Structure 1
Amino acid sequence: MTMSTLHGTFRRFIYIPTSISFTITQTYTTLTPKISLNSFECMKKNTKSNTYKHLLSQHLNSQNIEEARTVFDKIPLPDVALYTMMVKGYAQNQRLGEALNLFYEMPSRDIISWNSMIKGCLDCGDFVMAEKLFNEMPEKNVVSWTTIMNGLLQLGRVNNAENLFCKMPNKDVVAWNAMIHGYCSHGRAEDALRLFEDMPTRNVISWTSIINGLDQNGKSTEALLLYQKMVRLGVHPTSTTVMCGLTAAGRISALQVGLQIHSHMFKQGYFFDEHVSASLLTFYANCKQMEAAHKVFHDILHKNIVMWTSLLSGYGSNNMHEHAIEVFREMTRISVLPNEFSLTSALNSCCGLEDIEKGREIHTIATKLGLVANVYVGNSLVVMYTKLGHINDGITAFKKVSEKNIVSWNSAIVGCAQHGCGMSAFAIFNRMLRERVDPDEITLTGLLSACSHSGMLQKARCFFKYFDQKGSIEMTIEHYACMVDVLGRCGKLEEAEALVRSMPMKANSKVWLVLLSACRMHSNLNIAERAAKQIFELEPDSSAAYVLLSNMYASKSRWSEVASTRKTMKRNGISKQPGSSWLSLKGLRHEFLSGDRSHPLSEKIYQKLDWLGVKLKELGYVPDQEFALHDVETEQKEEMLSYHSERLAIAFGLLSSVEGSTITVMKNLRVCGDCHNAIKLMAKIVDREIIVRDSSRFHHFKNGMCSCRDYW
């Protein structure tokens, strides 16, 4: 290259006024003999190397691995750094074989390239190769040891990681933090705390890891004590530390500590961090301080979907479902697009409100956004539809979930069980097994419940025995209660009582209450009295046990025992839970008690019931006075039965809904046998489907029949 060419090259990069250009040229010419041309060639080479490095980095960051390799192959003599970049690129694209080939082709390797290759093997899931490389390393540093230790922790080999940690010749704070995080991630919070206390030096990540780890392992109080200690020691928390502290405070409703963290985060300047603000909002919601949560939301200048979802979920978790739906509507009104979490919260609130119409509106929004296949949205749709009486819609939503998790399968199985669709529940379970999804405790509960509501005793015995012997899940008292329910409903009361007495754990009042309820169904007073005695010993104030026993005495016209039982209840201050039924129409809930005349449409409701009474008698209906549990005259018994709460709700539904539409009524107690018979005929008279969910299950009444086939 000539001097004139050089001069022209420099002028392209630097503006040089004409008046002084000659002087600069002269000066440069004068100095040129003192600057080696080899040095200039070296500058050119470095520039070229940086260009290659830049191009390679661009392609690798864009995951254009083939283009990156093309650039790499054009480099005359790539150095170890360029080789390492390419090796990492292959590993990050899950092309481990090519990464290893290139690694072994390297003319020389430094410790960074060894560590990068080991991490690449771990990222690609090949721990054996990672361990082999680690053992082959001529020289290891703390990063090498920490990388392989993290690999062991990812595989759940905590003891091996612990041994490796002890063998490390040098440990930096990163290695200590990694081991603490590993302990916490695998439920060994005590070991993590011990290690934390032994640390020679700690950084804020150390504090954050142990605070979060303790909280995640059910030690939120200890986590908050450490947070306070950290602040006293003058360690400045990061935004993540603050979030962990707020989460721990919210989990145990530690309002005062949370208020201190709120004050501290304000001083630290984290108030404008969207994730910290969302955590603060959630903290107040968990502490049932929704006014404070709303104020935090109001004070946020730039509200994003995270904030909206936090507020929405907060209202939902506090059973303020109307407010939650209002938040969702306001959010969509100002064009904040819902995500899967906000949709899930909104659907859960629709379920809480038992408002199927609002739920369908949100389902439509989810469909437009293409989120019905999302596992969180899909699961919420399944739960909402099945809990509100629409099992077919629930199963349709289940089928649309693209990547089902255990919650998806359990929601569908439990939903089918609640509606008495035993065969559908078993079909879903079989498909679940074919797709190699391991059942859990909830799966077994759902299967036993399906057997109970469908009268499938042998199926229940098979499931119970299979899971008990397999040992893949822990058999809980809930499972035994379900099995007692199956036996009891099928009339196997002696066997049910024997199972209760032979359980590996002590039976609680709930299990005995299940048996007592079965005795009421089959009118077995002897076992009922024994079950009731056990309940009163465990739970003296159990109103349900007193009522069931009293009703059994009344059904057998043993009025003195009825009076004695009620007298005992009165003396002990035990009140009977009143039977109530309700339905939601146009976003409003209408609730009725037996014989209730407080509703604005009471006159029309009773007229409708009287009209239905005439039609029922025309079809041959005769009231079953066994369910009129008072010592009164026959006419009074018939009148009392005619105005049970579910009948009032159905009459209101007939008056207030579109002709031909389905009426869905919820009831807090078990529907009585007489009402069950009457509603079957009512559905036929009005030519509508009537759905009643009682404390036991769903009943779908249509054309004079019930989906439970008179078995509930």
Structure 2
Amino acid sequence: MACFPALSRSLKSISSVSSISLKKFSNSFMIITNYAKMGTSSHSSTISEYLRNDRLDEARRVFDKITSPDVYIYTMLISGYCRNNKTNEALNLFYRMPTRDVVSWNSMIKGCLDNGDLNKAYDLFNQMSERSVVSWTTMVNGFLQFGRFELAEELFECMPSRDIAAWNSMVLGYCRSGRIKDAFNMFKRMPSKDVISWTMMIGGLDQCGKSDEALSLFRDMRGVGVDPTSSTLSSVFTACANISALERGVQLHGHLFKSGYVFDAFISTSLMTFYAKCKQIESCLKVFQENLVSNVVMWTALVTGYGLNGMHEEALDVFKNMMKEGIVPNQSTFVSALNSCCGLEALDRGKEIHTKAIKLGLFLDVFVDNSLIVMYSKCGNLDYGVNVFNNMNEKNLVSWNSIIVGCAQHGGGMLALKYFDQMAQSGVQPDAITFLGLLTACSHSRMLDKGKYVFDLLNRDPSIEVRLEHYASMVDIMGRSGQLKEAEEFIKNMPIKANSMVWLALLSACKLYSNLEVATKAAQYVLDLDPHDSAAYVLLSNLYASACRWNDVSRIRVMMKGRGIIKQRGASWVTLKGSKHVFNSGDISHPLSRKIYQKLDSLSGKLKEFGYVPDQRFDLHDVENEQKEVSLFYHSERLAIGFALVSTVEGSTIRVMKNLRVCGDCHSAIKLMSKIVGRTIIIRDSSRFHHFKDGDCSCGNYW
């Protein structure tokens, strides 16, 4: 076409994209409209019924019995083939048509686009002797769906006439790709706008992090007299939630209540999410209770709302109640419920929900499986997470990231790298999270060379921004490998200014190697950047205590007290039958304290028989050695293990969660405990998971 020669030339270079599956276009772009001539009504209605149920063979048999099918019946069957990814059959039928009208051409073009054949769609478009505005819009929308923006723009500008649907198509395409500035410029150019135009632009601004501008545009929309739809209002409530604009959301809620709009289930769901994100869970529950419709979307919003507010027990109760009410959960419900299992670190509850997903046929859903991988990894059972991942029919970027991060958390450095290789072979492009997971895995497995290799790969990928988290992980890798000076130089040569997190990684490594010289400098950098970072004070104080420099320890503690900084108290906990049992060092408040202490006392003698000698360097108090030994033996993680030993069946795995890093003395003792009691003991500290079994730990004494 003379109008756009560059467009024709560009298409010659487009590679085959037949594997791409396009989403259905908006109803605004539906191609098949009512014909005045409906063909033989009995045949058309029979074929229509078969096609509605995807019974293509029966539909074709009826079609073949018609002596002279009209263009409407041809087009109906062609559309049926296209909907079922049978483009070749559709094209064969299309070329057999004795006559074709613009609707049949549009239908075939749309079918090619839906099934990923952009070249064929454009070839058909060029063959058309007559085009409607729908023909042009369909082709423009196709280019946008394939990310061919320059071609879409050129074709759009060549359109002989444009309706609102064509303009909306361009705005929507830009919004979906994150080109919000281009979308807004196109929006401003529109000669007229309908509610769909305004709604798309409001939603696009919000999704690109411009929620304030989205709300401002909504005010403009109301100012020109355009009435919002439920989709518009949903976007507005989402924008209010994203910036915690509680007052504006409540005002809008009041207006909707007066108009009766609030009883719309779609609006109610958005309202619930808005209140939940603004930490108004009671208002969220009230909207749910007042609504006249009770469907899976509203129940899911309530489960999610409780989870967002850290009320995970309540979230799982809602999940249980919806099942009792006969409401079948969908993939989003399962994702929210599994997230709450993570929040509770409740492995048993997660397994129960996994079983329900299997019964409902959602166990192969990619979103549910991704959440299962995360849940199993965070709750201390990586093997189950690996099993879920390996059995997935479909894997997306989140799937690969979830398993790589899971392996990193459990110290599976080589396994994480193995999955990264498989990810590359599958053609999935990594992102910033992928590399952060890999670097963490290398850090936890003392793989300095592998870590440097991964960091080099990251720096050579122009599509990924290297963040401060990546630099901190690289410092951690070098520092924990004993390369403290190299790590310090690495920080000083970073292309971006290091924050407290980066220097804190170095300070933490200094404690591992008792290097007070580098630690003092690193701590000063941290405190200059963030004078209230409690971790820096604690790490430096612990280093001084390990070196028996008690005057320096006192100085640090006085400084902390003067600045109102409180050291986080160590705690460990075990979740058993839905209940969380929390222990602090020397705790005697638990109902089973007597049995716990008896169990630990009986273990004490056996530990010494196996050669255990308390390492008093890890009791960081200026007290007598005998008192240090007693203090060490009743650290919170040992009390939690004692509780699990007296509360669970022999041979079962013990899982303990801890808010601080496990100390070296406890680590040595727990290795021997696992051998004495014949159990696997899994402890998650603030850094990673430790799997103790038969006297060894998965971390290789490196954490």
> Under a length normalisation based on structure 1, what TM-score does the superposition of the two structures give?
0.89
Q: Which secondary structure does the structure 2 equivalent of 1:253 belong to?
A: coil
Counterpart of 2:343? Answer: 352
Shift of 1:272: 4.0
Task: Give how far 1:77 is off.
Answer: 4.2
Q: Does 1:305 align with 2:296?
A: yes
Q: State the 1:512 CA deviation.
A: 0.7
More helix by share: 1
Partner amino acid, structure 2, of 1:467: L
1:399 partnered with 2:390? yes
**Letter aligned with residue 652 of structure 1:** F
- 1:638–1:119 Cα change, 3 Å: same
Corresponding position: 1:633 with 2:621: no
CA distance in 1, matches of 2:541, 2:612: 27
Corresponding position of 1:556:
547
* 2:241 match: 250
Which of 197, 207, 230 is 1:206 aligned to? 197
1:545 aligned onto 2:536:
yes
**Aligned residue-pair number:** 668
CA distance in 2, matches of 1:532, 1:46: 82
The percent identity for this pair of structures is 58
The DSSP-based 3-state class of the residue aligned with 1:669 is coil
Secondary structure, counterpart of 1:523 in structure 2? coil
Matched position secondary structure for 1:533: helix
Q: What SS class does the counterpart of residue 656 from structure 2 fall into?
A: strand
Deviation at 1:600, TM superposition (A): 3.3
Task: State the SS of the aligned residue for 1:692.
Answer: strand
User: 1:497 — aligned with what?
Assistant: 488
1:337 aligns with one of 328, 341, 350: 328
Shift of 1:101: 4.3
Structure 1: gaps (5+ residues): 1-44
Paired residue type of 1:260: Q
Deviation string 1:465-505 (CA, Å, 9 cap, x unpaired) is 23322445332221221121111111111111121112222
Could you tell me how far apart the structure 1 residues matched to 2:76 and 2:96 are?
Answer: 14
CA separation of 1:84/1:326 partners in 2, compared to 1, >3 Å: closer, same or farther? closer
Partner of 1:364: 355
Q: 1:95 to 1:508 in 2, by over 3 A?
A: same
Q: Which residue of structure 2 aligns with residue 163 of structure 1? A: 154
1:516 aligned residue: 507
What one-letter code is carried by the residue in structure 2 that aligns with 1:416? C
Looking at structure 1, the residues matched to 56 and 589 of structure 2 have their Cα atoms a distance apart, in angstroms, of: 74
Q: Name the aligned partner's letter for residue 533 of structure 2.
A: S
- What is the CA-CA distance between 1:376 and the residue it aligns to? 2.0
Partner residue, 2:230 = 239
Written as runs of structure 1 = structure 2, the 5 A alignment for 1:59-458 is 59-458=50-449
Alpha carbon RMSD of aligned pairs, Å?
Answer: 2.3
Separation in structure 2 between the aligned mates of residue 642 and residue 257 of structure 1, nearest angstrom: 55
- Give 2:366's aligned amino acid: V
Deviations 1:115-156 (A, max 9, x none): 333323322322223223333333333222211111111111
Aligned-pair distance for 1:572? 1.8
Shift of 1:67: 4.1
Code of the residue aligned with 1:456 in structure 2: it is: M
2:701 corresponds in structure 1 to 710
Does structure 2 retain, via aligned residues, the 8 Å contact 1:372–1:400? no
The DSSP-based 3-state class of the residue aligned with 1:583 is strand
Normalised by the size of structure 2, how large is the TM-score?
0.90
Q: Residue 651 of structure 2: which of 660, 664, 667 is its match? A: 660
Deviation at 1:366, TM superposition (A): 2.1
Partner of 1:15: none
| 2:641 aligned with 1:650 | yes
Q: 1:533 Cα deviation (Å)? A: 1.4
1:681 aligns with 2:666: no
Structure 2: segments with no counterpart, 5+ residues: 1-35
Partners in 2 of 1:699 and 1:49 — Cα distance? 73
Larger radius of gyration: 1
Distance verdict in 2 for CA 1:105–1:492, change over 3 Å: same
Who is 1:696 aligned against? 687
1:76 to 1:479, Cα distance in 2 relative to 1, 3 A: same
2:584 to 593, 599, 617: 593
One-letter code aligned to 1:192: A
Q: 1:703 to 1:178 in 2, by over 3 A?
A: same
* Aligned equivalent of 1:582: 573
- In structure 1, give the amino acid aligned to 2:346: D
Amino acid at match of 2:307: G
Q: Give 1:57 deviation, angstroms.
A: 3.3
For the Cα contact (< 8 Å) 2:37–2:72, is it kept in 1?
A: no
Whichever residue aligns with residue 308 of structure 2, its letter is: S
Contact 1:118 1:134 in 2 (8 A): yes
Matches within 5 A, 1:603-614: 603-614=594-605
Deviates more, 1:495-504 or 1:60-69: 60-69
Q: Could you tell me how far apart the structure 2 residues matched to 1:337 and 1:60 are? A: 28
Identify if the C-alpha distance between structure 1 residues 599 and 106 changes in structure 2 by more than 3 Å, giving closer, same or farther: closer
Measure, in 2, the Cα distance between the counterparts of 1:320 and 1:276.
24
Q: Decide whether the 8 Å contact of 2:442 with 2:448 is kept in 1.
A: yes
Deviation of 1:242 after TM superposition, in Å, equals: 2.0
